[in-house]
């Protein structure tokens, strides 16, 4: 005779409910949305009828996050266990610190978008400032100048920086490698205007004083870009496991081909990101371009002949020399700043696409 034992089914309490001693998963998001909405309403009342550009977006986000943090921690201490409430308190503190760090960026983006969108039109991207005194005009000459100067700077800096990093990681030994690393670190902290003065001095010795061209601006930017490319590429190359190199050597592949076929493809995602960071670092520089590329109100696409306007210099010129219509000049300046931000964002999106497309695929 056999006896069959059966386990009685026990009902487990339903989680994610207030009666189960746990806040629902959607509760923090609802509290966050409500806190931000309440903070926005309060600041809108205090704002009155002033222009939207004067709205305190940073204060709205900060007060909303503080209100959300207090309500969430208090509610968690009432409903949940003491341990869970302490965990939520730590999470809230970290999130608040992160939000405070983002406040300048949020305020900057809000201000630039609100002030620059009014002139973000077809005329702004179709006309230059030639023969424009008051309203109208555009920044097509500055947009082309920024793209051309930055492209030449990247064309100069990327090969030099990448080859230097390959030498330091794969070949460099002894005093020469240490000296190169030291000077690269020193160049990383060089003020941008010093790079511009250096290029102006060199070109004055070779071609005479008073010369301003777009290529001079590219040379000045390349002085700032090269150390960033070297340091970022060097770190990415060092992350490649030595086992991959040794496996390639064991198959009889020479070192240069191992670098080309194994090391570089493995680290291409990080290298591309570093290159984009270096471009973003210099595309908004104003001081070296003021000294090298100069000013012009007309479209010039020849980097080797005559001054070339860039977006940072265009924004500076509109603020410093507004002409007869100050409001129109400020609108053009804000629109130029918004265009520059969009270009930087587009470059970062391209970098992410390239990194994802050409990164090595693991697995079957």
Helices (H), 172-213: 174-188, 192-207
pLDDT at 225: 93
Q: Please answer whether residues 260 and 165 qualify as being in contact, where contact means their C-beta atoms are separated by less than 8 angstroms.
A: no
HSE of 98, CA atoms in CB hemisphere, 13 A: 7
pLDDT at 360: 62
Q: Please answer whether residues 80 and 21 qualify as being in contact, where contact means their C-beta atoms are separated by less than 8 angstroms.
A: yes
pLDDT at 8: 46
Q: How many CB atoms lie within 10 A of CB 130?
A: 11
In three-state form (DSSP H/G/I as H, E/B as E, the rest C), the secondary structure along 120-154 is: CCCCCCCCCCCCCCCCCCCCHHHHHHHHHHHHHHH
Mean pLDDT in order along the chain per 10 residues (364 residues): 47 49 83 90 80 79 89 87 86 87 88 87 87 82 93 94 92 87 88 91 89 92 92 90 89 90 87 86 88 89 90 90 84 91 87 73 54
**Exposure string (b/e) for 274-295, b if CB count within 10 Å is 16 or more?**
bbbbbbbbbbbbbbbbbbbbbb
User: What distance lies between CA 65 and its chain's CA centroid?
Assistant: 24
HSE of 271, CA atoms in CB hemisphere, 13 A: 22
In three-state form (DSSP H/G/I as H, E/B as E, the rest C), the secondary structure along 286-324 is: CHHHHHHCCCCCCCCCCCCCCCCCCHHHHHHHHHHCCCC
Residue with tokens 């960033």: 228
pLDDT at 14: 45
Q: How many CB atoms lie within 10 A of CB 67?
A: 18
Please give the C-alpha separations between residue 305 and each of 212, 214, 248, in angstroms, as whole numbers.
Answer: 8, 8, 48
pTM above 0.85, yes or no: no
Q: How many CB atoms lie within 10 A of CB 273?
A: 17
DSSP 8-state symbol, 359: S
**Exposure string (b/e) for 164-196, b if CB count within 10 Å is 16 or more?**
bbbebbeebeeeeeeebbeebeebeeeebeebb
pLDDT at 17: 52
Asked whether the CA dihedral 54, 57, 62, 68 is positive or negative, the reply is positive
pLDDT at 163: 93
Residue 114: Cβ-neighbour burial (10 angstroms; 0-12, 13-18, 19+): middle
């Amino acid at each position: 005779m056999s006896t069959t034992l059966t386990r009685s089914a026990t009902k487990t309490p339903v989680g994610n409910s207030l009666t189960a001693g746990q806040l629902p998963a959607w509760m923090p998001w609802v509290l966050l949305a409500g806190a931000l909405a309440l903070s926005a309403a309060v600041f809108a009342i205090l704002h009155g009828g002033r222009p939207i550009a004067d709205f305190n977006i940073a204060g709205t986000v900060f007060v909303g996050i503080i209100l959300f943090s207090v309500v969430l921690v208090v509610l968690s201490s009432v409903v949940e266990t003491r341990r869970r409430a302490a965990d939520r308190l730590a999470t809230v503190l970290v999130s608040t610190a992160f939000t405070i760090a983002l406040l300048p960026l949020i305020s900057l983006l809000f201000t630039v978008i609100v002030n620059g969108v009014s002139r973000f039109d077809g005329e702004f991207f179709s006309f230059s400032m030639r023969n424009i005194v008051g309203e109208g005009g555009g920044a097509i000459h500055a947009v082309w100048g920024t793209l051309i100067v930055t492209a030449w700077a990247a064309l100069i800096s990327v090969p030099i920086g990448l080859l230097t990093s390959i030498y330091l990681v794969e070949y460099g030994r002894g005093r020469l490698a240490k000296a190169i690393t030291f000077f690269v670190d020193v160049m990383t902290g060089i003020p941008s205007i010093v790079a511009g003065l250096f290029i102006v001095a060199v070109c004055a010795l070779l071609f005479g004083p008073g010369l301003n061209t777009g290529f001079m601006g590219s040379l000045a930017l390349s002085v700032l870009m090269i150390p960033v490319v070297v340091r970022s590429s060097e770190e990415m190359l060092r992350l490649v496991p030595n086992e991959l190199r040794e496996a390639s050597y064991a198959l009889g592949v020479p070192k240069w081909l191992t670098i080309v076929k194994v090391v570089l493809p493995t680290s291409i995602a990080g290298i591309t990101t570093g290159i984009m960071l270096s471009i973003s670092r210099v595309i908004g520089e104003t001081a070296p371009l003021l000294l090298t590329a100069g000013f012009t109100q007309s479209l010039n696409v020849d980097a080797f002949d005559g001054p070339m306007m860039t977006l940072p210099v265009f924004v500076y010129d509109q603020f410093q020399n507004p002409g007869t219509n100050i409001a129109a000049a400020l609108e053009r300046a804000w629109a130029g700043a918004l265009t520059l931000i969009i270009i930087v964002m587009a470059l970062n999106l391209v970098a992410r696409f390239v990194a994802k497309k050409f990164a090595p695929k693991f697995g079957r």
